[in-house]
Amino acid sequence: MFIPPGFVQRSQVFSQGTVAYVEADPSFWPTPPAKAMPLVFIHGFGGGSSSYEWSKVYPAFAADYPILAPDLIGWGQSDHPDRPLTTADYEALLAEIIQRLCPEPPVVVASSLSAAMLVRVAIAHPDLVRGLVLVAPAGLADFGQDPSSSFLNQIVKLPLVDQLLYRGAIATAEGIKLFLSQRQFADPSKVADEIVAAYLASAQQPQADVAALAFVRGDLSFDLALALPQLIVPTVMLWGEASQLTPIATGRRLAALNPEAIRRFEALPGVGLTPQLEVPGVTIGLIQQSLLQQLSE
């Protein structure tokens, strides 16, 4: 229902479990992509997150590049284990996905906490990734920030209360629409019914609360500022100026830590945390520019 025309969902078993991923349907695209370098699109974290997040963007590149858009373990249509994965688990999973599903080093397009994890993957395995396009990358404990200090973080640490909160406020159509409208989009009118339905379908998967609550508790957070100076892979950062969860001021500070690797920092006026859903056409254009210019060396 939420996979664009011309694409199919497949799955493979990885060390952490079975990963579902979207790729181009060869019967729809009979001519091989013009370029062999893959583009990998990685979704962020939060209630209802999945590869749907990039479904308005990756079709624009399918004629030119092999496309891969996975659901990470605990999200979307991938396995939902009864224990949360750690940050190290997710970083190992991201590296394994790239190694096994990409015949050559890809450019990885990622958002939010996943984008921050990709920075550390690229530092640990610099030959694994050709380049990075990162949307609001943040470890959520950047520059010494304490992710456990928020009221919501304290609430979800209470037994039973976390389950009630997830089922009653997060994994509902009303809760998802409210969060997207107030915290993720700058323009609430762009929160379409399809977006809410896609997030809801992911959030209501069996045991979807395990990964989501680990994220909300801050269990996956880390200080990206400590790692970023070690990055050598060519990188572009895109940041919505109206992003609330990860303010653009934090993004500018992070980018300034490594101007040699971070070739471009693009601020998007009037846009929130997920420009790939709020202004997909603009996002497509900026990724295209990045591929042609900053990541072309």
pLDDT score at 159: 60
Please give the full DSSP string across 14-72, using - where no structure is assigned: ETTEEEEEEEE-TTT--SPPS----EEEE---STT--GGGGTTTGGGGTTTS-EEEEPP
Q: Is 30 inside any structural domain?
A: yes
Looking at the structure of the chain, the number of domains it has is 1
Distance CA 129, CA 40 (A): 10
With bands split at pLDDT 50, 70 and 90, how would you rate the model's confidence at 41? Answer: very high
Q: Is 159 inside any structural domain?
A: yes
Q: Is 200 inside any structural domain?
A: yes
Q: Could you tell me the CATH number of the domain that includes residue 133?
A: 3.40.50.1820
When pLDDT is averaged across residues 12-25 and rounded to a whole number, the result is: 97
Q: Does position 57 have pLDDT exceeding 80, yes or no? A: yes
Q: Is 297 inside any structural domain?
A: no
Q: Is 2 inside any structural domain?
A: no
Q: Is 183 inside any structural domain?
A: yes
With bands split at pLDDT 50, 70 and 90, how would you rate the model's confidence at 210? Answer: very high
Q: Confirm if 222 and 234 have CB atoms less than 8 A apart.
A: no
Q: What is the mean pLDDT of the chain?
A: 92
- What percent of the chain is modeled with pLDDT above 70? 92
Distance CA 32, CA 65 (A): 9
Q: Strand 39-42 vs strand 67-70: parallel, antiparallel, or unpaired?
A: parallel
pTM: 0.95
Distance CA 121, CA 246 (A): 21
Q: Does position 141 have pLDDT exceeding 60, yes or no? A: yes
Q: How many CB atoms lie within 10 A of CB 127?
A: 8
When pLDDT is averaged across residues 155-159 and rounded to a whole number, the result is: 53
What domain range includes position 55? 7-292
Distance CA 134, CA 154 (A): 29
- What percent of the chain is modeled with pLDDT above 90? 81
What counts of helices (H) and strands (E) characterise the chain?
A: 11, 8
- Residue partners of 106: CB distance under 8 A and separation at least 6: 37, 38, 39, 40, 68, 98, 129, 130
Q: Is 90 inside any structural domain?
A: yes
Q: Is 1 inside any structural domain?
A: no
